[in-house]
Structure 1
């Protein structure tokens, strides 16, 4: 049972639209959330995933606002996070309503995404929305994913790598700096702002046990500063989505109206009433989505879409250029060698709309759209690490194998895939000529690299990714 205090209930009663009831709010807040997942289309099609998992007892109920999202049920008690399909990045366990902001951000725009498109996710960890955005971008263009918490940056990178995202650059800043450092740089920006988390009570019954409206003032001040920074970093003609998992008007509608009071006619509120069937049930008079738990049987959520109609004044002078960038472009001869190595060894064609860069003996694949931003801001990590140089030749990196598609893989069955993810070598039924480095896969999606020795596959999975336990379906 959720723990409500009376102050919270009083505030909800004041906020709740007239067509909704407090009884329903309390009843739905005490119901467990429906389990929901999002298919990772960077690795597998929705149809192929449904076909694969239906044989394992999954039943799929489509989430109306996300074509890759489903509420699922299955007859087997199994830890989804320990399944082969999850560990190889075929799906992300994601609450249904949190799929709304990326959908709103790219409504009608996915066809316009090119190698020059730049998108910013201002508060990214653990990565559910970041990886959803990367999927909608089909790994094209540049996605800057920022996270303020140092410990959460590691989790963010692990999820980006697992899901095969290659167009991402990670930053670690208080997101209030983006308006100053990258003024009018981004085509689209998602600000999923830090908030009081009132909408998450179905996931955490104790979330509001000590709720105090007076403590939210500091959060609101931060939200206002962040949305101003986001608007400054947005190009003219670009779109900003502001979202929270809070329920109060002061953290939601009021923050958006604050932005309009600062920037006036440059701010245009876009209606989300037709974003998906029955979206109007959650719409405010401004066209924002204010999702209460009882409307769609989900977490509470708020989503606003804002367009930037005209240029605004830069608030601060452009900061000094940052020096000592440790990467240099790779010469044509080395590019040809790397392309040959990936093609001849793994059947992988390196993408042409990216740039190969070098740091010491490491070779990296950068999104081309990052180039004009280098020196303007410090990036924690850009793109994916392709390979390390050896005395003779190259050694591929695991994240490159996860992100770059290959037609040439050795497909493993369930038991073999489990053994591989547990760091074990795989015996082969017949001894054949050794083939050297090979990609092993499951469901025709790569798991990683092994060395084919003729009678077995020697496991090359990075040690930090080895699992003690893998859940198998009976």
Structure 2
């Protein structure tokens, strides 16, 4: 890999005697692939041993491993594993989200942090995962769906749009800011090709604009976790110094092993060395920076919007209400008590109760997709199967790995019986939903997700 000349000159000046080891790690080292295990899935650890790749424990996060996950594998499709670069896992680990909290992942795609944060919430509380670009928001939504939690909402807004909907609302906000990407040079040649000497300063301006909106959505006493995947001091220590100078934040210590720390000579805020850095020549993984800040701002009066909000509640007619009761009885494991029903056209959703309103929001995924309202029936969704977590009770049908390959390719499969709607399982792994009629399982795997399995 040929590094840009201006990049080399910059870090020779900044790192001094340390520069040689830094450049050697960038040009000669190899990126490490990793993944996380979704431990709330049925028999997650046992299924990883049986169907997963060779692996070893990874640093920075629980249930994290060094190993390569294939996107067309059984465990990935079923939401048991998420492929993620090991150092990127440190951000959500630092956030240390607790069940019941209201959390915003402001720059969320493709979903690594959000799936990790959802696991920490354990189905209690609310996670709003936001992405400004629609195509990336769609990918984010698919990854969230596979992970199986009902209390996650995917929105598609610019930060200055989202802040109008959630004033002083969140206990924790994660801003994994768009950056110059220097920390990804080893694994992403495009990041090297697109880098130029002015990129860090341009990114810093954008990061400030994002943080201004993030602060508006943070509760007094809340926490802001800021991170980048770049080495540039302009986007790291300097940004945190600017934030502390302009807003009532206090930098909190991050107590983790195998990390380096922010450098006081690159920022002017007190306690800047309480931030953390991951360097390719000092720590495991690619380059990262992270800071955890406590917000000491005061509560402000919030003007209520005029007019009545439309509650996220469908108007079910008598026949539809009976269909709904039948649906609830068929799938008793779904968290009906923790959500409220919402109809989008003929699509039925379970929206988290902690979400105040859907009015005016651009939502890619307003909660858990329950199904499609048909004439005289509710047709359950693929997401219903993925929400089948450990301890769930419901109608299941065992299939073989070969039948699973037929299923994800869109084919019908033959299994003796006439059970109707069932959750299809390979061993303990819930992989989808089907309708078994006279020994034939009709395929309801979404057409847009179908693939030829490895």
TM-score normalized with structure 2 length: 0.89
> Relative to 1, partners in 2 of residues 1:120 and 1:321: Cα closer, same or farther, differing over 3 Å?
farther
Aligned to 2:453: 470
Deviation (angstroms), 1:129: 1.0
Report how far residue 331 of structure 1 moved. Answer: 6.0
Q: 1:134-153 residue pairs with structure 2 within 5 A?
A: 134-153=118-137
Residue of 70, 73, 87 corresponding to 1:83: 73
**Which residue is equivalent to 1:366?**
351
Partner of 2:240: 256
Q: How does 1:335-354 map to 2 (within 5 A)?
A: 337-344=323-330, 346=331, 348-354=333-339
* Partner of residue 61, structure 1: 56
Unpaired runs of at least 5, structure 2: 264-271
| Residue matched to 1:76 | none
CA gap 1:342/1:25 in 2 versus in 1, 3 angstroms: farther
Deviation, structure 1 residue 438: 1.4
1:322 and 1:374 map into 2 onto residues whose CA distance is: 14
CA root-mean-square deviation: 2.7
Deviations 1:95-149 (A, max 9, x none): 011111111111xx52xx22xx311111111111111111111122111111111
1:430-469 to structure 2, matched below 5 A, reads: 431-432=416-417, 434-467=418-451, 469=452
In the alignment, which of 83, 102, 115 is matched to residue 92 of structure 2? 102
Q: Give the CA deviation at 1:214.
A: 2.0
Indicate if the aligned counterparts of 2:21 and 2:281 stay in contact, CA closer than 8 A: no
The separation in 2 between residues aligned to 1:46 and 1:362, in whole angstroms, is 30
- Within 1, Cα distance between the matches of 2:224 and 2:78? 31
Q: Secondary structure at the residue paired with 1:355?
A: strand
Cross-structure match for 1:269: 251
C-alpha displacement at 1:250, in angstroms? 0.5
2:11/2:19 contact within 8 Å kept: no
Conservation of the 8 A alpha-carbon contact between 1:105 and 1:241: yes
Q: Distance in 2 between matches of 1:278 and 1:23?
A: 17
* Corresponding residue for residue 33 of structure 1: 31
Matches within 5 A, 1:6-405: 6-16=5-15, 20-44=18-42, 47-53=45-51, 58-72=53-67, 80-106=70-96, 109-110=97-98, 113-114=99-100, 117-209=101-193, 211-263=195-247, 266-272=248-254, 274-275=255-256, 277-279=257-259, 281-284=260-263, 285-311=272-298, 320=305, 327-329=312-314, 337-344=323-330, 346=331, 348-371=333-356, 373-375=357-359, 377-405=361-389
Distance 1:446 1:261 in 2: 50
Cα distance in 1 for residues equivalent to 2:48 and 2:383: 25
Give CA-to-partner distance per residue, 1:62-94, whole Å, 9 cap, x none: 122111211026xxxxx7111121111111110
Cα distance in 2 for partners of 1:305, 1:99 equals 15
The alpha-carbon distance between structure 1 residues 17 and 325, as it changes in their structure 2 partners (threshold 3 A), is farther
**CA-CA distance at 1:327 after TM superposition:** 4.5
| Aligned counterparts of 2:258 and 2:164: Cα–Cα separation in 1 | 39
Structure 1, residues 11-51: CA drift from partner, whole Å, max 9, x if none?
22333387x44234433443221220111234246533443
**Counterpart of 1:385 in 2: which secondary structure?**
strand
Q: Write the distance in 2 (CA, Å) between the matches of 1:239 and 1:336.
A: 44
**Structure 1 length as normaliser, TM-score?**
0.85
Residue 421 of structure 1 pairs with residue 408 of structure 2: yes
> Is contact 1:180-1:319 (8 Å) kept?
no
Contact 2:138 2:364 in 1 (8 A): no
Hey, what's the Cα distance between the residues in 1 that align with 2:306 and 2:291?
34
Match of 2:269 in 1: none
Distance 1:470 1:17 in 2: 50
Distance in 2 (alpha carbons) for counterparts of 1:423 and 1:45: 26
Residues 322 and 378 of structure 1 are in contact (CA less than 8 Å); yes or no, is this contact kept in structure 2? no
Q: Any gaps of 5 or more consecutive residues in structure 1?
A: 74-78
Residues 323 and 375 of structure 1 are in contact (CA less than 8 Å); yes or no, is this contact kept in structure 2? no
Report deviation, 1:381: 3.4
For 2:13 and 2:174, how far apart are their aligned partners in 1? 29
Larger deviation, residues 208-217 vs 162-171 = 208-217
Where 1:160 maps in the other structure, the secondary structure is: helix
Deviations 1:159-197 (A, max 9, x none): 111222321222222213444442211001000101000
Q: Distance in 2 between matches of 1:185 and 1:262?
A: 21
405-414 or 395-404, larger mean C-alpha shift: 405-414
Check whether the contact 1:425–1:456 (CA below 8 A) recurs between aligned residues. Answer: yes
What is the alpha-carbon distance in structure 2 between the residues aligned to residue 322 and residue 159 of structure 1?
Answer: 36
Q: Determine the C-alpha separation between the residues in 2 that align with 1:124 and 1:300.
A: 19
